[in-house]
Amino acid sequence: MLCVGLLCGAVRAEVIPVYTSAQVAPLVLPDGTGVYPDMVAYLNRHKLGDFSFKLVYLPRKRLQMKVESGALEGIVIGMMPHWFDDAGQKKYLWTAPFALDRYVVALPADSAYTPGAKGALSGRTLGMVLGYSYPDLADWLRQQRPIRADALSDEHNLEKLRFGRVDSVALAESVYRYHKKKHPSDNFRVYVLPSRQTERRFLVPHELQAVYDKLAPVLRKARDDPEWQRLMLRYE
């Protein structure tokens, strides 16, 4: 009877896909760890009713199309409301942020660059990720007028910067910190860019209100939870 009960409990559990388009350290690492896998595991340890969560990769454009067309059968990790034209948080349900980030620009140590000066990168190449838009950097890009040079990832861009194949790289500070931890010999100058802070939240369709009701209280407390803080320290 005990076995039957356990099996019935397993059948009742509903697996909720947690979608991401991220493939960059420290958000998602090749060995299956990273900030996003750790967050999904953290949620599963909280045993949120009959729900369990599974991280699923989708290419960025396909993920955005699913969200905007209402065809998403799951939730999305690491998003911000204004990325989906939802500053009023009416189109979708949004959790509290579980991590904060910001954009930086990395340049060679001997590079002449004056933060805030208009046109400081004019005519110089700026490494960015192929297929990605950077709405938070739109004003800064207009002022700086760099030549965009795309690569498949931030890691590739930093490698190009190391070998002098680009003049600068724009990327999230968390990505740069993790790269520096793995490549301490890289000698770059890094400047914080004038953009709003990135808040990594969950986007939840209104159709999944029941999931949101279980998820939201945990996310409100996550950043103050010693367990989550210890996990995040692994990527600092």
Residues 16-33, mean pLDDT to the nearest whole number: 93
pTM: 0.87
Asked if residues 72 and 196 have their Cβ atoms less than 8 Å apart, the reply is no
Q: What is the mean pLDDT of residues 145-169?
A: 96
Q: Which residue spans within the chain are E strands per DSSP?
A: 14-20, 51-57, 75-79, 93-94, 99-101, 103-108, 125-129, 147-151, 168-172, 188-192, 198-204
Sign of the C-alpha dihedral computed for residues 197, 54, 67 and 205 taken in this order: negative
Say how far apart CA 122 and CA 44 lie, in whole Å.
48
Q: If you average pLDDT over every residue of the chain, what do you get?
A: 92
Structure confidence by residue, pLDDT tens digits, 89-124: 999 999 999 999 999 999 999 988 888 889 999 999
Cβ atoms of residues 203 and 85 within 8 Å: no
pLDDT, tens only, 85-96: 999 999 999 999
User: pLDDT grade, residue 12 (50/70/90)?
Assistant: low
Higher pLDDT, 2 or 78: 78
Closest CA to 142 of 158, 126, 166: 126
- Residue corresponding to tokens 């030549």: 147
Q: Tell which wins on pLDDT, 187 or 75.
A: 75
Q: How many CB atoms lie within 10 A of CB 188?
A: 20
Nearest to 186 by CA among 113, 126, 107, 122: 107
Above 90 in pLDDT, residue 171? yes
- By C-alpha distance, which of 81, 79, 83 is closest to 98? 79
User: CA nearest 195: which of 138, 131, 148, 154?
Assistant: 138
Q: Sketch out the chain's domains with CATH numbers.
A: 11-100+198-233 (3.40.190.10), 103-192 (3.40.190.10)
DSSP letter (8 states) at residue 185 = T
Q: What is the pLDDT of residue 60?
A: 87
